[in-house]
Amino acid sequence: MKVFLIAGEPSGDALGAALIAGLRQLSDISVFGIGGPKMEAEGVRSLFPMSDLSVMGVTEVLPRLPHLLRRRDEAVGAILDGRPDVLITIDSPDFCLRVAARVRAARRNQKVIHYVAPSVWAWRKGRAARMARNVDHVLALLPFEPPLMRAAGMGCDFVGHPVVAEPLASPEDIAAFRAEMGEQIVLVLPGSRQGEIARLAPVFGEVLERLPFEAQAVIPTLPHLEGTVRDAVAHWPRTPRIVTDDGPRRAAFGAATAALAASGSVSLQLAANRVPMVIAYDMSWLSWQILSRMVQVDTVTLVNLVAGRKAVPEFLGPDCKSDRIARALSALMLVPSEREKQREALDIAMDRLGRGAEAPGLRAARSVLAQL
């Protein structure tokens, strides 16, 4: 069986690699396409560097638009020439779904599967119907997404979220981290993009200054963001420890008392480690005015959405104020019953995301083969 996969960013590369490994367990396959180091380790010889596709935002995309269009055409040509049994596009809808549309225009019977459902439950419901024109089946990460995809005209299986398969720190590593850093550890996660870090770091620093007790702040981040983070926290009153290596990062998540985090998928990583959290996020006034009118849910935190309860406090847009955030974070840090109450919701979310079940990559592979 011939499979063409496209991933446009590191998270998609990880999903693609786990899917390939799952497919190899179940079937004899040959794979080609576009991916990063993890997919390449699974045998994908990338058509071009995945980093060519890792751009976001109008100001970043526009200068590179001619190059992106050439890459789109290269991908379409490779798919049409290779004649795969299935085209699997992974997230990155702006690029992937445009490739799928062009392929289907040239070959109507091409089987197309998209991995990671669009968040139509949050905003822009019409995206699912438009996607259904060129996608046969969706592999969903969240348990409430399949009915929405099926209503739009596509098949859909919930295959589990990759966070449930991520390794956790050992008890020994956690104990060693606490022995080094102290018992009161607060994780600070100001985002994974430079703009987020620049906007949120001053507010998060003020929150730490307002805490009515001593706690060691630890910032787990990625190696390529370390310089950005150090610059952003240089004037914080309490110097945080910044960790970038996998081992210390896992130990920090395991040892933390509570966390202050930007809105995003990191809430699920915290939930996997049973770390109670406060979520905060801010953006420009204009962006908030637009987004707040488009959002169709009353919480943006994935843990809340999956658990079905607003257990994690959020401070978004105009509410992203250090005094309010500090009060909520202090309650989590100082009151054990508050932490345990939130952990109940974290456990519910993780169980619903597939913890304890078959690995997501293998579940995704079974879903793909069922379609063929």
Pick the closest to residue 162 from 37, 15, 289 (CA basis).
15
Considering only CA atoms, which of 189, 165, 333 is closest in space to residue 252?
189
CA–CA distance, 357 with 350 (Å, rounded to integer)? 11
pLDDT reported for residue 238: 80
Find the angle CA(120)-CA(115)-CA(56) to the nearest 5 degrees.
70
Q: How far is CA 196 from the centre of its chain?
A: 15
Strands 258-262 and 241-243: unpaired
Check: CB of residue 256 under 8 Å from CB of residue 217: no
pLDDT at res. 240: 94
Rounded-to-10 torsion of CA 143, 146, 149, 153: 180
* Separation in Å, CA 126 to CA 63, 131, 150: 28, 9, 13
Q: 336 pLDDT band (50/70/90 cuts)?
A: very high
pLDDT of residue 30: 95
pLDDT score of 56 more than 60: no
Pair of tokens at residue 340 = 């345990």
**pLDDT tens for residues 95-154?**
999 999 999 999 999 999 999 998 776 566 778 899 999 999 999 999 999 999 999 999
pLDDT above 90: residue 237: no
- Closest listed residue to residue 222, CA positions, set 196, 203, 204: 196
Helices (H), the chain: 10-26, 37-41, 58-82, 93-106, 126-131, 146-151, 171-181, 194-210, 226-232, 246-255, 266-272, 285-294, 302-307, 322-334, 336-352, 360-371
Indicate whether 63 pLDDT > 80: no
Q: What is the per-residue pLDDT for 69?
A: 87
Q: Partners of 262 in the beta sheet? A: 280
SS3 (DSSP) at 3: strand
Pick the residue with more confidence: 350 or 11? Answer: 350
Quote the pLDDT of residue 66. Answer: 78
CA 148 to chain centre: 20
Concatenated DSSP letters of 323-342: HHHHHHHHHHHH-HHHHHHH
Range in 60-64, 182-186, 258-262 the model is least confident about: 60-64
Q: CB of 296 within 8 A of CB of 122? A: yes
Q: What pLDDT digit, counting tens, does each position of 272-329 carry?
A: 999 999 999 987 666 656 666 666 667 878 999 999 999 999 999 888 999 999 999 9
The arithmetic mean of pLDDT across residues 236-253, rounded, is: 93
pLDDT recorded at residue 57 = 45
- Would you state the pLDDT for residue 150? 96
d(CA 40, CA 58): 29
Model pTM greater than 0.75? yes
DSSP secondary structure of 155-198: EEEE---GGGGS----HHHHHHHHHHH-S-EEEEE--SSHHHHH
